[in-house]
């Protein structure tokens, strides 16, 4: 039986709790930790974690309960040090997105996992959804031919008071606005589907969140050898339209699914190709639906990987990719230049301290509260349709 601990009892902790309790034959949550120990106790009671005790610190919980696996659900600036500490204390680690605040932190986490031989998995719950799996497989199989253009609209909405929480809205504690905290989901999916680009050109602004140093809208153009992808990020978009469109030589593959194809009329204008659209639709639906999706599916994979029964699907190296692209996006928008990948160790954008010196403060954070009264959250609107 794998003994698990949830570290950080805020908004996302309940999602981890609900995922763990689906697998009573594989694991048991023995501890929930928070600097506000009453929040840990609330999670235990709300999710009926009957075997769990509340602790104030991760170290205390790991030692007292002989923990095998920790779920790090802490603010982003606390991910790297706590991950390394937990790995060194002999635990496997699942860490929430974004993996860390910098590539240097990611590399420290990966090195600790390799040194200790313990699993490190980064939450990428959207990879574990049927539409994403189907489009991923179709792209890997080359359905439709070469990708000629990709469009990612990663559009979200958050009120001004979202940034009142103490750790949000500064480079030091959140280390990124909508690209990092929201569009990291779509960036992870894009890189999983079509890989890392050669270079990035990006711009960003803060148009509506006055209690935050960070961006709330932005655009990034990714250049690949034979195509471009563009990513729009925002947390000012009512309706939170979210889509990923991959144009191939023969037809459109997209999330949400809406196949399209055409043949040229004698003048080059499009004539809908219903036969090929049907072929795409048949291929799409022939790829089986997942029985489990999201956090539960990812957590099941990690539990089985710990038992040596499945390969781990989302390790530290996979999680690092989105951070690398986001750092290139920040470098491009801060320096107003096109940035080539990879970002090397000598680059100012490899380390948090040197990176944040280069970043604009769109506004200064002047209001800060320790906790919200509600921990209710939504996890993206169309991302899994």
Ligand X SMILES: NC(=O)c1ccc[n+]([C@@H]2O[C@H](COP(=O)([O-])OP(=O)(O)OC[C@H]3O[C@@H](n4cnc5c(N)ncnc54)[C@H](O)[C@@H]3O)[C@@H](O)[C@H]2O)c1
Binding site for ligand X (CB under 6 A): 7-12, 33-36, 39, 73-76, 78, 96-97, 123, 125, 165, 181, 375, 377, 379
SS3 217: strand
Q: Which residue is nearest to ligand X (CB)?
A: 10
What is the phi/psi pair of residue 266, to 5°? Answer: -55, -25
Cα separation, 306 vs 302, whole angstroms: 6
Which long-range contacts does 354-361 make (Cβ < 8 Å, 24+ apart)?
355/102, 355/327, 355/330, 355/331, 356/171, 356/172, 356/175, 358/331, 358/334, 359/171, 359/213, 359/330, 359/334, 360/213, 360/334, 361/171, 361/213
Question: Is 55:33 a contact under the CB 8 Å cutoff?
Answer: yes
Cα separation, 348 vs 103, whole angstroms: 11
Closer CB to ligand X, 7 or 328, in the complex: 7
Closer CB to ligand X, 127 or 331, in the complex: 127
Closer CB to ligand X, 7 or 280, in the complex: 7
Cα separation, 87 vs 80, whole angstroms: 11
Q: How far is the CB of 8 from ligand X (least distance, A)?
A: 3
Closer CB to ligand X, 166 or 363, in the complex: 166
Classify strands 228-234 and 242-248 as parallel, antiparallel or unpaired.
unpaired
Closer CB to ligand X, 201 or 233, in the complex: 233
Q: How far is the CB of 5 from ligand X (least distance, A)?
A: 11
Q: How far is the CB of 103 from ligand X (least distance, A)?
A: 17
Q: How far is the CB of 125 from ligand X (least distance, A)?
A: 6
Cα separation, 258 vs 245, whole angstroms: 9
Q: How far is the CB of 374 from ligand X (least distance, A)?
A: 10
SS3 128: helix
Q: How far is the CB of 296 from ligand X (least distance, A)?
A: 12
Closer CB to ligand X, 19 or 303, in the complex: 19
Cα separation, 30 vs 11, whole angstroms: 19
């Amino acid at each position: 039986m794998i003994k698990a601990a949830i570290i950080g009892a805020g908004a996302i902790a309940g999602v981890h709790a609900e995922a763990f309790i689906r697998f009573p034959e594989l694991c048991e949550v023995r501890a929930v930790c928070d600097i506000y120990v009453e929040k840990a106790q609330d999670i235990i009671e709300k999710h009926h974690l009957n075997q769990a005790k509340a602790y104030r610190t991760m170290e205390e919980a790991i030692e007292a309960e002989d923990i095998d696996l920790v779920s790090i659900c802490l603010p982003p600036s606390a991910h790297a040090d706590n991950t390394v500490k937990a790995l060194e204390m002999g635990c496997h680690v699942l860490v929430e997105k974004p993996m860390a605040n910098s590539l240097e932190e990611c590399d420290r986490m990966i090195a600790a996992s390799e040194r200790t031989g313990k699993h490190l998995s980064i939450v990428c719950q959207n990879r574990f959804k049927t539409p994403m799996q189907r489009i991923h497989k179709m792209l890997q199989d080359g359905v439709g031919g070469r990708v000629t253009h990709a469009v990612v609209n990663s559009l979200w909405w958050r009120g001004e008071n979202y940034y009142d929480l103490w750790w949000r809205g500064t480079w030091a504690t959140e280390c990124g606005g909508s690209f990092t905290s929201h569009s990291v989901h779509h960036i992870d999916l894009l890189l999983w589907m079509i890989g890392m680009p050669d270079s990035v050109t990006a711009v960003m602004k803060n148009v509506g969140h006055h209690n935050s140093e960070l961006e709330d809208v932005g655009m990034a153009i990714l250049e690949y050898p034979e195509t471009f992808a563009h990513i729009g990020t925002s947390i000012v978009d009512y309706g939170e339209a979210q889509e990923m469109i991959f144009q191939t030589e023969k037809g459109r593959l997209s999330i949400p699914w809406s196949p399209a194809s055409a043949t040229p009329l004698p003048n080059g204008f499009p004539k809908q190709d219903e036969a090929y659209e049907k072929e795409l639709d048949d291929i799409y639906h022939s790829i089986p639906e997942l029985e489990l999706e999201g956090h539960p599916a990812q957590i099941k994979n990690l539990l089985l990987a710990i038992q040596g029964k499945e390969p781990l699907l989302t390790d530290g190296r996979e999680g690092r990719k989105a951070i690398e692209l986001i750092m290139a996006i920040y470098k491009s928008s801060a320096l107003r230049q096109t940035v080539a990948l990879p970002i090397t160790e000598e680059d100012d954008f490899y380390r948090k301290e040197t990176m944040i010196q280069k970043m604009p403060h769109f506004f200064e954070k002047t209001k800060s509260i320790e906790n919200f009264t509600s921990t209710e959250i939504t996890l993206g609107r169309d991302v899994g349709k």
